[in-house]
Amino acid sequence: MAKTHVTATINGEETEFLCDGQQTMLDVLRDEMGLTGSKEGCGSGDCGACSILVDGRLVCSCLMFGAEAEGTDIMTIEGMADGDKLHPLQQKFLEHAALQCGFCTPGVLVASKALLDKNPNPTEEEARYWLAGNLCRCTGYDKIIEAVMDAAAEMRGE
Amino acid sequence: MYAPTFAAPQSVDEAVRMLGADGAKPLSGGTDLIVQLKSGRNRPAAVVDLKKIPGLVGVEETSDGFVIGAATAGAQLGEHAGLVAAYPGIVEGAELIGSTQVQGRASLAGNLCNASPAADSIPCLAAAGAIAVVVGPNGEREMKVSEVPAGPGRTNLGKGEFIKCFKLKKPTANSSDAYLRFIPRTEMDIAVVGAGVNITRDGSSGPIKSATVWLGAVAPTIVEVDASCIVGTSLDDATLAKLDAAAQSVCNPIDDKRGTVEYRTKVAGVLARRAATIAFKRAGER
């Protein structure tokens, strides 16, 4: 089977990889690049644990072929912190204990970042609707929403 | 191991050639295709990504109206202020599909050609009289969006044909649309019933000059409601009751865990009334 050669920017670095026609971007990240922060929860776009940004847009990496990444700019959870300095969302998730098992957390963080990039001052309702595609079976969501709202306030300088 | 070939043509002609081959499938957002491919329900020999073709992604406002690339995602529709102002119902339908993540990928043409009777973006496209520009081995042709679905999972496109773009006419003064769907949850579910209504009023405070109403999820394809009973009126209660009855009369739904036949039929009448009321109000504001 002929593989597709892909060049994409992943977390700021120009990256090349080979993939076949049934590999999703999630497969590529986890199996080819060793970037295992993005998780496979459902593999069908229902749970959001594999959320990444492609050219700034939030998508499920399980619902995208790796070969589609040609020429795109991709951000995964591994690109969220600035070196050792956590992104404010990551810091607030720790402070609010907005995670338990942690499996959904990378996807929730990437989705939350996409929200705040687009809308720095969301209402709680907007945050809840935006994150409706990120399932968490541990926290009951309230702590996640509290952390997102607090991080948004801090990032606005309040 | 199964693996389709992957190609991302740069032109419509190249895509037509590739999709003429046996077992080739067009890819736009992939939110249905990739799930079907993984489950084994759909195993194309070749996946042809249309998104690198100029014009296949994006919304263009022209002097005649709008041209929407077939692979344009719902989120991109919502970011186009002109389209949101002209056809809020089409945009709200597209933006109800799946999660934020899915809306970043799922396209109008995919929603139409996956041919689910419950496809949220289709009733308002049909109500607006949207045209699908179809290309294939025999050249280009235009179809009404409402003529594309043939039944659950089936379309009236010929072998090798795919949709290039949608055309929407420039809305006349005092016209607007609305889409409502019912789901048992607040988000992330498939329509039990959907109703799309497009209304033109005779002046900003005048009665209805013309109206088109389409329902989703109550028959094997979307179905049109005879909306003649609301033309010439300003939607008083007696008129809305007639619309309710007209909507119920065209329903031929399935009975499943998300709604019985009786329930879906009743909800169809309710949503037709409510969507008409919203579209009527919006039309007065334009």
Q: What is the ipTM of this complex?
A: 0.96
Query: What percentage of residues in chain B have a pLDDT greater than 90?
Result: 96
Q: What's the helix, strand, coil split of chain A in %, to 5?
A: 40, 20, 40
Tell me the CA distances in angstroms from B190 to B100, B183, B194, one per residue in order: 15, 7, 10
Name which of B181, B180, B204 is nearest B191 in CA terms.
B181
DSSP letter (8 states) at residue B48: E
B2 touches chain A (CB under 8 A): yes
Would you state the structure tokens that stand for residue A85, as one six-digit string?
A: 């300095």
> Which residues numbered 221-240 in B keep a CB inside 8 Å of some CB on A?
none
Tell me the CA distances in angstroms from A49 to A33, A46, A129, A131, B140, one per residue in order: 18, 9, 16, 11, 41
Which residues make Cβ contacts (< 8 Å) with residue A113, sequence separation at least 6? A53, A80, A87, A89
Interface test with B, best of A39, A60, A104, A128 (most B CBs within 10 A): A60
Provide the mean pLDDT of chain A: 97
For residue range A55-92, what is the model confidence (pLDDT) as tens digits? 999 999 999 999 999 999 999 999 999 999 999 999 99
Residues A94 and A56 in one domain: no
Q: Give the 3-state secondary structure of residue B258.
A: coil
Q: Of the candidates A64, A115, A132, which has its C-beta nearest B105's C-beta?
A: A64
3.30.465.10, 3.40.120.10, 3.30.70.1140, 3.20.20.140: CATH of B5-50+57-169: 3.30.465.10
**For A11, what's the count of Cα atoms within 13 Å in the CB-facing half-sphere?**
15
For residue range A26-40, what is the model confidence (pLDDT) as tens digits? 999 999 999 999 999
> CA B151 from chain center: how many Å?
14
Taking residues A127-144, report their average pLDDT. Answer: 96
Residues A74 and A94 in one domain: no
Q: Is the pLDDT assigned to residue B66 strictly greater than 70?
A: yes
Q: Give the 3-state secondary structure of residue A121.
A: coil
Tell me the CA distances in angstroms from A94 to A35, A80, A84, one per residue in order: 22, 15, 15
Answer yes or no: same fold for B5-50+57-169 and B175-284: no
For chain B, give every domain's residue range.
Answer: 5-50+57-169, 175-284
Name which of A106, A123, A118 is nearest A52 in CA terms.
A106
Q: Which range marks the domain in which residue A63 is found?
A: 4-79
State the pLDDT confidence band at B107, using cuts at 50, 70 and 90: very high
Residues A70 and A92 in one domain: no
Q: What does the pLDDT read at residue B13?
A: 98
Domain boundary among A36, A52, A79: A79
Taking residues A131-156, report their average pLDDT. Answer: 97
The nearest alpha carbon in chain A to B79 belongs to A118
CATH T-level topology, domain B175-284? Enolase-like; domain 1 (3.30.390)
Interface test with B, best of A18, A63, A130 (most B CBs within 10 A): A63
Residues A13 and A72 in one domain: yes
Q: What does the pLDDT read at residue B187?
A: 82
* B256 burial type by CB count under 10 A (0-12 exposed, 13-18 middle, 19+ buried): exposed
For the CA atoms of B161, B42, B185, B130, the dihedral, rounded to the nearest 10 degrees, stands at 0
Q: What does the pLDDT read at residue B211?
A: 98
B27 touches chain A (CB under 8 A): yes
Tell me whether residues B35 and A45 touch, CB distance under 8 A: yes
A26 touches chain B (CB under 8 A): no
Tell me whether residues A132 and B38 touch, CB distance under 8 A: no
CB atoms within 10 A of CB B39: 11
Q: Of the candidates A1, A46, A131, which has its C-beta nearest B3's C-beta?
A: A1
> Which phi-psi region, left, alpha or beta, contains residue B235 (left: φ > 0; alpha: ψ -120 to 50)?
left
Q: Of the candidates A62, A64, A130, which has its C-beta nearest B100's C-beta?
A: A130
The number of distinct structural domains making up chain A is: 2
Residue indicated by tokens 């209402």: A123
Tell me whether residues A48 and B6 touch, CB distance under 8 A: no
Q: What is the pTM of this model?
A: 0.96
Taking residues B50-69, report their average pLDDT. Answer: 98
**For B236, what's the count of Cα atoms within 13 Å in the CB-facing half-sphere?**
3
Contacts of B38 in chain A (CB under 8 A): 22, 43-44
B199 forms beta bridges with B176, B211
Distance CA(A92)–CA(B54), nearest Å, equals: 42
Domain boundary among A42, A60, A79: A79
Q: What does the pLDDT read at residue B254?
A: 95
> CA B181 from chain center: how many Å?
13
Residues A75 and A92 in one domain: no
Q: Is the dihedral of CA B83, B87, B88, B93 positive or negative?
A: negative
Would you state the structure tokens that stand for residue B131, as one six-digit string?
A: 């045209």
Distance CA(B234)–CA(A49), nearest Å, equals: 48
For residue range B202-234, what is the model confidence (pLDDT) as tens digits? 999 999 999 999 999 999 999 999 999 999 999
Q: Of the candidates A2, A43, A67, which has its C-beta nearest B38's C-beta?
A: A43
Query: What percentage of residues in chain B have a pLDDT greater than 70?
Result: 100
> Could you tell me the CATH number of the domain that includes residue A28?
3.10.20.30
Residue indicated by tokens 């300003």: B234
Residues A92 and A75 in one domain: no
Contacts of A59 in chain B (CB under 8 A): 101, 104-105
Q: Of the candidates B5, B35, B102, which has its C-beta nearest A133's C-beta?
A: B102
Distance CA(B80)–CA(B20), nearest Å, equals: 33
Tell me the CA distances in angstroms from B96 to A8, A86, A109, A129, B188, one per residue in order: 30, 33, 22, 11, 8
State the pLDDT confidence band at B42, using cuts at 50, 70 and 90: very high
Would you state the structure tokens that stand for residue B207, as one six-digit string?
A: 């009665």
Domain boundary among A60, A79, A98: A79
Q: Is the pLDDT assigned to residue B145 strictly greater than 80?
A: yes
Contacts of A132 in chain B (CB under 8 A): 99-100, 186-188
State the pLDDT confidence band at A1, using cuts at 50, 70 and 90: low
Q: What does the pLDDT read at residue A2?
A: 81
Tell me whether residues B31 and A129 touch, CB distance under 8 A: no
> CA B254 from chain center: how many Å?
20
pLDDT higher for A112 or B1?
A: A112
Are the CB atoms for B153 and B114 separated by under 8 Å? yes
Provide the mean pLDDT of chain B: 97
Distance CA(A25)–CA(A67), nearest Å, equals: 8
Residues A53 and A94 in one domain: no
Tell me the CA distances in angstroms from A12 to A26, A65, A82, one per residue in order: 18, 20, 11
